[in-house]
Structure 1
Amino acid sequence: MDLIDIPPTDAHRLVPLLQKLQALHVTHQPGRYAANPSDAALTNWLGDWLTDESLTARAAVSPTGAIMGYIIYGIEERPALPVRRAETRAMLHHIAVADSWQRMGVGTALIAEMKRAVNAQGINIIATTYAPFNTASAALMARMGLRPVMTTAEWRGES
């Protein structure tokens, strides 16, 4: 497996995995997530998002060049507040692994590479969010040393 950078012009390569991830979220939280976004809409959004220079998109590719999984993370500068210390952290926004490559170390390799890259920049904090129904993400995060530090709750009234 090779790990490669995904520039904004290659955003389309991530869309099949993003569609699957989106469908999982829609299944469990349909009131929160838009169902069935088009590939074009996702490609445009992802391509625009990845132009942000604070973001990094990396993909694990098979020997045939197929995308096995991807990770998108950004660097955030958080100023000090009276109630919180200042910090620079890496925020893991997305991670997805193709079904056929799950439980083969792809997600682990992606996060390990992220840890190496941000640590080389002097950053030793990684944060992420994941939905409570996504037990695979929760297990991967725990294996990689990310521990829950807060819980976010929502109320959504009828529209």
Structure 2
Amino acid sequence: MKIIEIPAAEAGRLLPLLQDLHALHAQHQPERHIPAPGSDDLAAWLQDWLQEDNVFALAAESPQGALLGYLIYELQDRPALPVRPAETRAMLHHISVTEAWRRMGVGKALVEAMKTRALAAGATVVAATYAPFNSASAALMQGMGMSPVLTMAEWRA
């Protein structure tokens, strides 16, 4: 397995994993997610997102070229406020591993690669969000030394 960067032009390679991730979220939080967005719409959105200057996709690739998992993160420059110092944050937005490769270190390898790249780019904080139903993501983040610092709640009409 090797960790590669996925450029915006190759965003379509991530679609099967993104669709799996989205289906999980739509199943557990149907009020927040469109059940089955079209592949063309997802591909266009993903390509646009990855074209942003500070958004990056990494993937774990098998020797045969199959994607075992991916993550998307963003480097965020957060200016100082009266209540906190300035920081550069690496915000992990998505992570998904093919079902057959879960619990085999793929997610950990992806997060380690992200952390290494982010620190080299000047990040001082690595952060992630995950849904309360996603115990696998919670365990991965905890295993990577991350601990919850806040909880977001919402109400929807």
**Residue 99 of structure 1, CA deviation:** 0.2
**Structure-2 residue corresponding to 1:57:** 57
d(CA) in 1 for partners of 2:34, 2:121? 36
The superposition leaves residues 57-102 of structure 1 with CA deviations (integer Å, 9 ceiling, x where unpaired) of 1110111100000011111011112222211111111111000110
Q: Establish whether residue 42 from structure 1 lines up as the match of residue 76 from structure 2.
A: no
Give yes or no for contact 2:59–2:68 (8 Å, CA) kept in 1.
yes
**Structure-1 residue corresponding to 2:28:** 28
Superposed CA RMSD in Å reads 0.9
Structure 2 SS opposite 1:117: helix
| Amino-acid identity (%) | 57
**Residue 119 of structure 1, CA deviation:** 1.6
**Residue 11 of structure 1, CA deviation:** 0.6
**Structure-1 residue corresponding to 2:100:** 100
Q: Which runs of 5+ in 1 are unaligned?
A: none
TM (normalized to structure 1)?
0.96
Farther off after superposition, 123-132 or 102-111: 123-132
**Structure-2 residue corresponding to 1:111:** 111
**Structure-1 residue corresponding to 2:82:** 82
**Structure-1 residue corresponding to 2:145:** 145
d(CA) in 1 for partners of 2:50, 2:121? 20
Farther off after superposition, 134-143 or 78-87: 78-87
4+ long deviations beyond 2 Å: none
Give yes or no for contact 2:87–2:124 (8 Å, CA) kept in 1.
no
**Residue 15 of structure 1, CA deviation:** 0.5
d(CA) in 2 for partners of 1:119, 1:49? 22
Structure 2 SS opposite 1:150: coil
Q: Which runs of 5+ in 2 are unaligned?
A: none
**Residue 123 of structure 1, CA deviation:** 1.8
**Structure-2 residue corresponding to 1:126:** 126
Letter in 1 for 2:150: M
TM (normalized to structure 2)?
0.97
Letter in 1 for 2:21: L
The superposition leaves residues 83-129 of structure 1 with CA deviations (integer Å, 9 ceiling, x where unpaired) of 22211111111111000110110000000111111122232310111
**Structure-2 residue corresponding to 1:71:** 71
Give yes or no for contact 2:79–2:85 (8 Å, CA) kept in 1.
yes
Q: Establish whether residue 5 from structure 1 lines up as the match of residue 30 from structure 2.
A: no
Letter in 1 for 2:30: P
